[in-house]
Amino acid sequence: MALGALALYLASPNQRLLSRPLPRRPLAAAGGAMLAVSLYLLLQYSGAAAAVFILVTGAMLVWTVLPMAIAYWRHGRNPANAGNKAGRAAR
C-alpha cells in the first residue's frame, strides 16, 4: 500500500522528493496497480467497507507525512536556515 501511494506521489508534477521527475505515466500505472493489489489483499482480511477505509487512510497517511518529512529534511540541510531558530524569530 505504501509503495503504491509513493509511486503515485512520484508521478505528481508537484513532488519534491526527487530533483528530476521520473516518467509520470508508468509510475501512475504502477502505483494504481499496487493499490489495486493492496485492496484485493485487504479484502481477504476484512470486509469491503473496512478494506477501502484502510487503503484510503494508509494512502492519505503517506501523502501527508511524506511531503512534510521532505520539507523538514530539506530545511535542515539548507545552510541559510541554520541561524534562523524559533527562539530568535520570536524576539
Total count of domains within the chain: 1
Does 12 reside within a domain? yes
Instruction: Sort 1 into a burial class: Cβ within 10 Å, 0-12 / 13-18 / 19+.
Output: buried
pLDDT of 40: 97
Does 91 reside within a domain? no
pLDDT of 21: 81
pLDDT of 3: 94
Does 72 reside within a domain? yes
Confidence check: pLDDT of 49 > 90: yes
Confidence check: pLDDT of 19 > 90: no
Of 30, 32, 31, 52, give the one whose Cα is nearest residue 41: 52
Alpha carbons within 13 angstroms on the beta-carbon side of residue 71 total 7
Please give the residue range of the domain that contains residue 63. Answer: 2-82
Does 28 reside within a domain? yes
Does 89 reside within a domain? no
Does 76 reside within a domain? yes
pLDDT digits (tens, 9 = 90+) for 52-84: 999 999 999 999 999 899 889 888 776 665 555
Does 87 reside within a domain? no
